[in-house]
Amino acid sequence: MHLIALLLALQAGGPGAQAPEVVIAQGRLAGAVESGVDAFKGIPYAAPPVGPWRWRPPQPPPGWSATREATSFGPVCPQRGTDRLVARANLPRSEDCLTLNVWTPGLEPGARRPVMVWIHGGGFVQGGSSVPLYDGAALAGRGIVVVSLNYRLGQLGFFALPALAAQHPGEPSANFGLLDQIAALRWVRDNIAAFGGDPASVTVFGESAGGVSVDALMAAPPARGLFARAISESGPALYGTTALVEAQRRAAALAARLGATGPGAPDVLRAASADSILAAGEGDVGPIADGTVLVEDVTASFVGGRVARVPYLTGSNSDEGSLLRAGGASLPADSGAGVPDSARALYERGGASGAEIAEQWFGDRLFAATSSLLARDVAALGASAWVYRFAFLPDILRARRAPGVPHGGEIPFVFGFGQLAVFAPPQDLAVSAMMQAYWTNFAKTGDPNGPGLPAWPAYAGPEPRTLVVDDSTAAVAGFRAAQIDLALRQWSHRTGVALP
């Protein structure tokens, strides 16, 4: 059989594979067998946020009477620019985008398997759950029910115009993208048992903006009780949560650029196209300390112990500075701030020079320091926390003499390379199997450790240990402690938040 035809046949489950069907609260779904697991795609978890429902909390999802085919992803949410992964997949876009996807090992009644809910990255302005990189089949093959979801992006997802809020007093009126994620988690709670999942054993995990989302969900009172464990991959929460007054200023400026002023502003904005709204946006986009969904800055919630008390796994990659070389798209204005003299001297002693110093300081200040601080805060609550550093270079990066693993470079290893696994060299596959084992062990038990894996101690004590994943993998005490401590002291001085 021709190679391409063979790959397609394997993904589709082979000749004669019977389409799985499941009944949920909304109606009957017909899925497909893909890579040996049952897949259901494009399931609405909320009503389309269009017309009068734009900039409103997500509403209950529609139902249906006939069997609904669930074999194709829903469109990605409207977005400014084009994420390269979205562009390569040629994914359609629509405001009717609040859908999720489920991969399950099987539909046995009462199976009660652990559930992992993936939140994609993209700076809160780009991305989508249907990116091929996020195929959940390999993780599902390890006994996990995997869910991925779309959520509103850009100013359609994070917008705080007082004139809109005044129309619906008492409703949350800023963090619509986070509210979408919470609605998806509620859908999982109410429906995942039909797919063989355990609603009491949900792990929420995400990368970059998805990692920031995980941290925000840890802090968000409306998300309490909807997940039992959390994994934040390269989530730079030390960026800070946008203050409500600043979010309102940006929203008013956007409205003015679109001619939406005075009492009729909400009607003008709801009649405008999604593309025109996103094009008129300015400044950073992301979670807002609105006093309802997020009571305060997310990091302040962690430091103050006002977050969900659940096992927490977090970490970053060895070359997060790749974001600076890529132009810093969607990064806050201060993310490329100059390197202070104290930091420059520290990195020079370590052998770095020139642009390397700024890139390493960027990675340590915004990623490694975030992981260390938030893990310490979770441990102080009495929940277990684990920290990793992903530094294993696959062959393709070694050939390019890459300085380290770039932002997002761990994702293929977590998801198992999808159809490209047949082309991956043995050492890459071995590291992927290890990462998948850690992640799924954590989802199953709240502890990533398991037989045959390098020991990964919880992040605790005066000299906590970080699991460094490289050509050899081991837990390292005090990993980059001097750089992280310097970054945290600077953050504390800038924000006025005392370190624990």
Q: Which helix (H) or strand (E) holds 206?
A: strand 197-207
pLDDT (tens digit per residue) in 450-463: 999 999 999 999 89
- Is 154 contained in some domain? yes
Strands 242-243, 385-390: pairing kind: unpaired
d(CA 56, CA 175): 10
pLDDT (tens digit per residue) in 125-147: 999 999 999 999 999 999 999 99
Share of the chain above pLDDT 70, in %: 92
Say what the pLDDT of residue 4 is: 41
- Is 11 contained in some domain? no
d(CA 229, CA 104): 19
* DSSP assignment string, 15-62: TTPPPPEEEETTEEEE-EEETTEEEEEEEESS----GGGTTSPPPPPP
pLDDT (tens digit per residue) in 6-55: 444 444 454 456 899 999 999 999 999 999 999 999 999 999 999 999 99
- Is 442 contained in some domain? yes
Residues involved in catalysis: 208, 320, 407
Provide the H-helix boundaries in 340-387: 341-349, 355-363, 369-380
Q: Which helix (H) or strand (E) holds 6?
A: helix 3-11
Could you count the other beta carbons within 10 Å of the beta carbon of residue 37? 24
d(CA 366, CA 377): 16
d(CA 324, CA 200): 40
- Is 9 contained in some domain? no
Res 330 pLDDT > 50: no
Say what the pLDDT of residue 279 is: 93
CATH number at residue 317: 3.40.50.1820
Res 63 pLDDT > 50: yes
Number of helices (H), then strands (E), in the chain: 19, 16
- Is 371 contained in some domain? yes
263-268: which pairs have CB atoms within 8 A and are 24 or more residues apart?
263/163, 265/161, 265/163, 266/161, 266/163, 266/164, 266/167
Domain residue limits at 88: 18-495
pLDDT (tens digit per residue) in 178-217: 999 999 999 999 999 999 999 999 999 999 999 999 999 9
pLDDT (tens digit per residue) in 352-402: 888 899 999 999 999 999 999 999 999 999 999 999 999 999 988 888 888
- Is 7 contained in some domain? no
The one-character DSSP state at 13 is: T
pLDDT (tens digit per residue) in 256-277: 999 999 889 999 999 999 999 9
The per-residue pLDDT of the chain, averaged, comes to: 92
- Is 412 contained in some domain? yes
- Looking at the structure of the chain, the number of domains it has is 1
Q: Which helix (H) or strand (E) holds 69?
A: strand 68-69
d(CA 103, CA 32): 10
Say what the pLDDT of residue 344 is: 92
Nearest residue to 287 via CA among 210, 365, 227, 205:
210
- Is 3 contained in some domain? no
Could you count the other beta carbons within 10 Å of the beta carbon of residue 50? 13
Residues 228-246 have a mean pLDDT of 94
Please compute, for residue 4, the number of CA atoms within 13 A of its CA located in the half-sphere on the CB side: 0
Taking phi over 0 as left and psi of -120 to 50 as alpha, with beta for the rest, 418 belongs to left
